[in-house]
Amino acid sequence: MRLLTRESKIPAGRTLWADSWRRLKRNKPAVVGLVFVLLVLFVGIFADFLAPASPTDQDLRARFARPGSPSKITRNGTYILGADQFGRDILSRIIYGARVSLTLAIVVEVITRIIGITVGSVAGYYGGWIDMAISRVLEVLMAFPDLLFYIGIRFALGSSLPVLILAFSAFGWAGTSRFVRGLVMQLKESEYVEAARAQGFSDARIIVRHILPNCLGPLIVSITLSIPGTIMGEAGLAFLGLGIQPPAPSWGNMIYDSRAYLRVAPFFGIWPGVALIVTVLAFNLFGDGLRDALDPRLKR
């Protein structure tokens, strides 16, 4: 009984997370990726303070102003990255575009992962006809042409950020469900899950406390790697004229707008392109590093 009082401080163990963090820190590209990811998040969150101008303020006399030329609409009096076809500050639009792209990507991740994890773990854990029914639904969802769906709801509901989020989420969760279902089916057979069953815990407790925490590693990696996918997806739709509607800025619709002026003002299209590439690359580098860090067995 008095075993604990002798030394009341019990040393805490190293969690697997702490181990993974140490491995991640040693991976240089992943750290660079992480720094950029954090930078983009920071810029998106504090856009109001960081952007030198409003993304929609125009100055038609300063159309296609070169980088560094004087400006009437920015706080510091120059177009640091130049101006677009309406004389709007490109840097400000990129900064606000980061907010739009990240909001879309993150909200879509949250929605699809919550639905996907719930559905997938139920299918994987219970198996049998439940799994059969869910799997058939997933197959239908995955076979559905989502671009077609999006064009459809765009005509019905108009084009705004919530509609885009709906478009990406409506089918996106099917992939996660599949992924989680597989992980759960595998972990369900593990001896520690059997031990949990032998102790008489409820199914919900076994799924939430014993199985899902062990799926977290692969899930985090897949989330980090799918965020750039959504960002690129939006850019792709924007380039077809189906993305975030002007005048609201997104990296995709900026590139779309710049297309007509590529000869007159090449920088107009290059800057949002660079922002897109760097962000996507950063997420991918970080995600790859995370995978190695969370599951060292995968490393050759």
Partner 1 sequence: MSVALKEVGVVEASPNLVEVEGLVKWFPVRAGVFRRVVGWIKAVDDVSFTIRRGETLGLVGESGCGKTTTARAILRLIEPTRGRVLFDGIDLMKLDSRQLARMRPQMQVIFQDPYGSLNPRHTVMEIVGEALAYHGIVKRGKALEERVAELLDMVGLSPQHMRRYPHEFSGGQRQRIGIARALATSPKLIVCDEPVSALDVSIQSQILNLLEDLQARFGVTYLFIAHGLHVVKHISNRVGVMYLGKLIEVADSEEIYAEPLHPYTQALISAIPIPDPRRKRQRLILQGDVPSPLNPPPGCRFWTRCPVMTDACKETQPVLKDVGRGHQVACLRYS
C-alpha distances (whole Å) from 45 to each of 98, 232, 256 are: 9, 20, 24
**Which residues are registered as beta bridge partners of 79?**
69
Min CB(3)–partner 1 separation in Å: 4
- Check residue 129 for interaction with partner 1 (CB under 8 A): no
Please report how many Cα atoms fall inside a 13 Å half-sphere around the Cα of residue 15, on the Cβ side.
5
CB of residue 203 vs partner 1: minimum separation in angstroms? 9
- Residue 200 in contact with partner 1, rule: CB under 8 A: yes
| CA proximity to 207, closest of 263, 271, 143, 127 | 127
- Does residue 128 interact with partner 1 by CB under 8 A? no
| Window of 32-40, 42-50, 107-115, 200-208 that interacts with partner 1 by CB under 8 A | 200-208
Q: Which residue's CB is nearer to partner 1, number 208 or number 264?
A: 208
Q: Select from 23-31, 62-70, 168-176, 192-200 the region that touches partner 1 (CB under 8 A).
A: 192-200
Tell the smallest beta-carbon distance from residue 191 to partner 1 (Å): 4
Binds partner 1 (CB under 8 A): choice among 94, 210, 269, 282: 210
A 10 A CB-CB count for 196 gives 19
Where does this chain touch partner 1 (CB under 8 A) — which range of 8-16, 160-168, 177-185, 269-277?
8-16
- Our CA angle for 84, 87, 90, nearest 5°, is 45
Based on the shown chain and the rule CB under 8 A, indicate whether residue 192 belongs to the binding site for partner 1.
yes
Cα distance between residue 172 and residue 138, in whole Å: 10
Q: How does DSSP assign 233-268, residue by residue? A: HHHHHHHTT-SSPTTS--HHHHHHHHGGGTTT-HHH
215/170 Cα distance (integer angstroms)? 23
For residue 19, give Cα distances in angstroms to 5, 14, 174.
30, 7, 32
Nearer residue to partner 1 within complex by CB, 145 or 200: 200
Contact segment (CB under 8 A) with partner 1 among 57-65, 71-79, 91-99, 199-207 equals 199-207
Nearer to partner 1, 61 or 299 (CB): 299
- Note the residues at the interface with partner 1 (CB under 8 A): 1, 3-4, 7, 10-16, 190-192, 194-202, 205, 209-210, 213-214
